[in-house]
Amino acid sequence: MNRDWKATARTLSEALPYLQRFAGAVVVVKFGGNAMGDDEAMAEFARDVVLMRLVGINVVVVHGGGPMINELLGKLGIKSEFVRGKRVTDKATVEVVEMVLTGLVNKRIVQAIMDEGGRAVGLSGKDDDLMVCEVDDPELGFVGRPVEMNVQVLRDLFKAGIIPVVAPVATGMSALETFNVNGDTAAGAIAGALEADRLLLLTDVSGVKDKEGHVLTEIHPDQIRAMIADGTIAGGMIPKTETALQAIDKGVRAVVILDGRVSNACLLELFTEHGAGSMIRATPPRVTPRGEPV
């Protein structure tokens, strides 16, 4: 037998404890970054998600779409204003956000999953009042902060063997309001409401790094707070780690920040001994090495 086939068989055998561990678990995956604009990367991500569903994981995909939004805003001649580096989402902008996220991006991911043999349904936070928001910061306009979650629709889709794909657009307390929600924030809110076993935040970096630039494979929430305070965690990693802390406070068992550009990143994290990226969880590991079933 070819040596590569032997290695593949051994890998599948070694994955058995992890397949057993996550059967029936809820895993929320935030998908975004460069992979969304690459057909091959999109197809690979879709295959991974379909495999996760086939082995019994109740997976939810939450996506962003910033580059696509920027592109359409430019074509429409809608200029963006920024406050403290954050885009102001006025009425014209939020309409474009909704069109791009719930139409173009959401349906592209759904189709990719279907093309790989899975079943998927596209939703936004508006559907069945999945995510109800209030204004996060008045200066930023229609940017929402989730205050009410209604996740029964996701559980109903799990029972039917369907993968929910959620666009981070939400309703407000008034049915006439539409809010743009940060993709990580939306994923964290959904994971918290489901008390998910894992929240996987796919990014364009390899994980949370220490002062020397080394990726930390496991981090406790108190360490995260200290690293934010002393500036070790900075820039775009701050909101991601804050999302992780909020999700853990709401009952998510662990959050992993990992590089979505790595092939099969989700599978490496869930089904291998070494895992991938940086895992954040409230309690220290009961067993070692990193990644063994806990």
Give tens-digit pLDDT for 248-279.
999 999 999 998 888 888 998 898 877 788 99
Q: What is the pLDDT, as a whole number, of residue 2? A: 52
DSSP state, 207?
A: S
Give residue limits of the domains in the chain.
21-280
Counting Cβ atoms within 10 Å, is residue 95 exposed (0-12), middle (13-18) or buried (19+)? middle
Q: Are 280 and 256 in contact (CB under 8 A)?
A: yes
CB atoms within 10 A of CB 56: 13
Q: What is the 3-state secondary structure (H, E, C) of 41-75?
A: HHHHHHHHHHHHHHCCCEEEEEECCHHHHHHHHHH
The third-level CATH classification (topology) of the domain covering 21-280 is Carbamate kinase (3.40.1160)
pLDDT digits (tens), the chain, 294 positions: 455 767 677 777 777 777 888 889 999 999 986 667 688 889 999 999 999 999 999 999 999 988 888 889 989 999 888 777 678 899 999 999 999 999 999 999 999 999 999 999 999 999 999 999 999 999 999 999 999 999 999 999 999 999 999 999 999 988 788 999 999 999 999 999 999 999 999 988 888 988 888 899 899 999 999 999 999 998 888 889 999 999 999 999 999 999 888 888 899 889 887 778 899 988 654 443 444 444
Does the CA dihedral 261-263-267-270 come out positive or negative?
negative
Full-model pTM? 0.90
